[in-house]
Chain A
Amino acid sequence: MSDDVREDDIKKAEFGPEAGPETISINMAVERESKSRVPRIFKAQAFQIFIVLIVIVIIFSIMAPNTFAQLSNLRLVVQNASILGVLGVGMTFIIITSGIDLSVGSVLVFSGVVSAMVMRAVGGDGWGVATIGILVAIASGLAWGIFNGLLISKAKVPPLIVTLGSLGMALGLAQIITGGIDIRQVPSVLTSTIGYGNVLGGIPIISVIALVVILIGAFVLHKTKFGLYTYAIGSSEEAARRVGVKVDRHLIKVYGMSGALAGVAGILSLSQFSTTAIAGQSQTNLNVIAAVVIGGTSLFGGYGTIFGTVVGLFIPAVLQNGFVITGVQPFWQQVAVGAVLIAAVYVDQVRRASAARGASTSLWRHFFARRKNT
C-alpha cells in the first residue's frame, strides 16, 4: 500500500509523529481524490456486473456468431426487456428507500384491464381513444402506488406486507371486472406504434419509451433533491426526518411513482401483446426485484443506481436468449439467474461489511489482493 506510506510521511511532516490516521487535512484529501476520480467508476458494483454482462455476451457471440451476435437478435432482447425496464426504474427508487414493491405485476395487469375496458367502452381506433387509455392506465397505477405509500408511511405496515396485499387485491379486482376473461380489443393505433412499431430504421418504439423513462429516472435519482432524499431515507430515516425531510410524503411519492410506472408498463404490455394477459405477469415482480438487486442496489437501502438496474435486467434476458440459441435447455436460465442473484447479494453483504469497518469497498481488492498488513 504505497498510498498509505506516502500519506504517513506527509502527515509526519505536517503534524509531527504523533498524528494518527485521522489528522489528514482536507486539502490533501481533495488532492488525493482528484487523482483517483476515474478508477472510482470501476469500483462501483454496477460496473462490475456490467463486465459480467459483457463476458456473457462475448461467450454467446463466440458460440453462435451467426445467430446470437446479430443486430436483429440484439433488437429482440432489448425489446423483450423494455417493459421490465420501465418497472425497474420505480423498483430501484423503492429498494433504495429500503422498501420493496411486490405489487408491480398485478398493478400492471389491473391498469391494463381498466384501460382496455375504458377504451372498449369509448370505442374507436384512433389516437383519441388511445390517449384516454394511456391516461387511465397511468392514473390507476398511480392510485395503487399511493394506496401502498399511504399504508407504508402513515399506517406503518411493512412494505413487504402492504405490497403483498395489494398484489392479491389488484390481481383479484382485475379478474373480477373482466370475469377472468382476457380483453383482446386494443386500438390498432397502439399495437402498430408502441406494440411493434419502429423508429430510425429498426429501433422498437417500446424500447425508446423505456429508454426515455430510464434516462429521466436516472436524472431524478442522481441529480435532484428528490433522488438525494430517496437515498437519505434509505440510509437513515431518522437522520432525514431530523433535518426536515418530509419522509412520509416522500415515501408516498416514491410508491406512487412506482405505481404510475406500472401503469405505463400496463399500456406497453397491452400494446405489445394485444391482450390484457391477466395470468401472464405472476413472475414479473420477482424478475424486476432480481434485476434491481443484481444491479447492485442494496436491499437494505441507501445504495443503488439506475444503470445497475438496466444491466441487471439484461443478464437474465441475455442468458435466456443465449441458451435458446445455443441449444441449451432454457430452464438453465432460471438456474443461472438464481446463482447470479445470490452472488450479487453476497457481494453487497461484503461491501456493506467492509464499509462498516471503514475499509476499502473495492471488490477487486477484496477478492484478489487480500491485504497482508493490518
Chain B
Amino acid sequence: MSTPVLEARGISRAFGHVRALDDLDFEVYPGEVTALIGDNGAGKSTLVKALSGNLAIDTGTITFEGEEIQLTTPMQASALGIETVHQDLALAPHLDPVQNMYLGREVMNKGIAGFFGTMNTKAMAKESRRAFDELGATVRSLTSPVGSMSGGQRQAIAIARAVHWANKVVFLDEPTAALGVRQTKNVLETIRRVRDKGIAVVFISHSMPHVMEVSDRIQVLRLGHRAASLDAKDTNMEELVGLMTGASTRGAA
C-alpha cells in the first residue's frame, strides 16, 4: 500500500457544543475511489469542508503527501491540486460552461499591465471542449448560460471543472443525488476515469448500490467519528448500513 495523498489525523471541530468532527482519522490514496458514507449529521460535509479549506479545524493535523499543512482557504487547496464539487455545484448560472470552467483562472492575452488584458476565449473554449470530451461529458452548448441547462449537464460541467484543475484529490459531494439513471451512470463512469488518471476520488453518497459499484475503499462516519475503514471487496450493503446506524461495529480505526 502506497502512502496516502491526503491524510487527517485526530481532527476535531465543534460548533457550539455540537462536536461535528470528534477525533477523526481519514485518509485517501492516489488512484483510488474512497467512498465516504454516513447518516445525516455524521460529519461528512464538515469533513469535506475541512479538507478543502472551507472550514478551520480545532485540533488535529492534516498531511498532504506526507507533509503537514494548514488549510485555511479553498484557494490553498486548489493550489495543491485538491478540488471539490459541492452539492449546490457552485456554478454561476449566467455564465457559459467555458467561463465557469475558467472562472478565477482565466487564460489571458498579453495586455497592458495585466489589468486591461483581454481574455483568450478561443484557447479556453478549445481546452474546455477537450476536457468535456475527455470525460464524455455531454454539454449541449459551450456558449449558452449554464442556468439554462439540465441538472445532469450542470453536474457534468461542475465535475469536469473540478477534474480539470485537480491533479491530486477530487471531492464529490453527493454527485448523483439529483440525477436520472443515465446521468448517474455517466457520473460513475467519470469517477472511474478520473481514478484511472491516478487522482484520488472521494465519493460521498447516500446510495449504497452506487458506493458498492464504484469504490475501492469505504470509510464509514458515525457521530463525527470514523466507525470503519473497509476494503470495498470484502463488505456488503447490510454491513455498511449496520455500521452507519451503529447496529454493528468492525475494523474501527
* Chain A residues within CB distance 8 Å of chain B: 18, 20-27, 29-30, 32-33, 220, 223-226, 228, 231-232, 234-236, 238-240, 242-245, 301-303, 355-356, 358-359, 361
Contacts and interface: CB of A to CB of B under 8 A. Distances in A.
B135 to A, nearest CB: 10
A22 B138 contact: yes
Interface of B: 74-75, 78, 86, 88, 90-95, 99-100, 103-106, 108, 111, 115-119, 129, 132-133, 137-143, 145, 147-150, 152-153, 182-183
Given A22-B150, A24-B138, A225-B119, A244 B182 contact: no
9 contacts: A18-B182, A22-B153, A24-B138, A24-B140, A224-B116, A228-B106, A239-B103, A355-B145, A355-B147
Contacts of B141: 29, 32-33
B93 A236 contact: yes
B17 to A, nearest CB: 27
A23 B185 CA distance: 12
B153 A242 contact: no
Nearest to B146: A235
Contact of B95 (A231, A356, A359): A231
Given A18-B182, A228-B95, A245-B103, 10 more contacts: A26-B133, A26-B137, A29-B142, A223-B118, A236-B90, A244-B78, A301-B94, A356-B147, A358-B148, A358-B149
A20 B103 contact: no
A196 to B, nearest CB: 32
A106 B89 CA distance: 41
B142 A26 contact: yes
A175 to B, nearest CB: 37
Nearest to A216: B116
A330 B139 CA distance: 52
Contacts of A238: 88, 90
B92 A232 contact: yes
B111 to A, nearest CB: 8
A25 to B, nearest CB: 7
Given A23-B138, A29-B142, A242 B119 contact: no
B140 A302 contact: no
A13 to B, nearest CB: 16
A232 B149 contact: no
A23 to B, nearest CB: 5
Contact of A240 (B92, B142, B182): B92
B138 A232 contact: no
Given A228-B103, A231-B94, A361-B148, A20 B74 contact: no
Contacts of A22: 138, 140, 150, 152-153, 182-183
Q: Which 9 A-B pairs have the closest CB atoms?
A: A302-B94, A243-B104, A235-B94, A235-B92, A244-B104, A239-B92, A239-B90, A236-B92, A244-B75
Nearest to A96: B94
B39 to A, nearest CB: 26
Contacts of A361: 148
B108 A225 contact: yes
B93 A235 contact: yes
A242 B106 CA distance: 15
Given A236-B91, A244-B75, A33 B143 contact: yes
Nearest to A40: B143
Contacts of B142: 26, 29-30, 33
A238 B111 CA distance: 28
B218 to A, nearest CB: 28
Given A239-B103, A244-B75, A226 B140 contact: no
Nearest to B152: A22
A76 B190 CA distance: 62
Nearest to B183: A22
B74 to A, nearest CB: 6
A23 B137 CA distance: 9
Nearest to B125: A30
Contacts of B92: 231-232, 235-236, 239-240, 302
Contacts of A242: 74, 86, 90
B120 to A, nearest CB: 11
Nearest to B92: A235
A221 to B, nearest CB: 12
Contact of A225 (B106, B133, B183): B106
A224 B116 CA distance: 6
A361 B94 CA distance: 12
Contact of A358 (B91, B115, B150): B150
Given A33-B141, A224-B116, A232-B95, A243 B152 contact: no
